[in-house]
Amino acid sequence: MLVSFADTLKKHQDGILAYYDYPISTGPLEGTNYNIKTLQRQAYGFRDMQFFKLKIFGL
């Protein structure tokens, strides 16, 4: 198991080390996507797409 874990780390070494050069996280984007999906569930059945877009821009 440890050898398999080491192989996986070696395969992803470039991406892992790139984080330390550019510490960017997708956390805020994931949160925004979650909020948009929540709005979609709440707006089910509404016909006004323009209002939905305004609600998204209001996030």
> Per residue in 1-59, pLDDT tens?
999 999 999 999 999 999 899 988 889 999 999 999 998 888 777 778 888 888 888 87
pLDDT score recorded for residue 3: 96
Tell me, yes or no, whether 18 lies in a domain.
no
Structural domain boundaries, residue 54: 25-59
* Angle between helical axes of 27-42 and 49-57 (0-180°, round to 10): 150
Give the residue from 59, 19, 25 showing the smallest Cα distance to 40.
59
Tell me, yes or no, whether 42 lies in a domain.
yes
pLDDT score recorded for residue 27: 92
Tell me, yes or no, whether 7 lies in a domain.
no
Domain count, the chain: 1
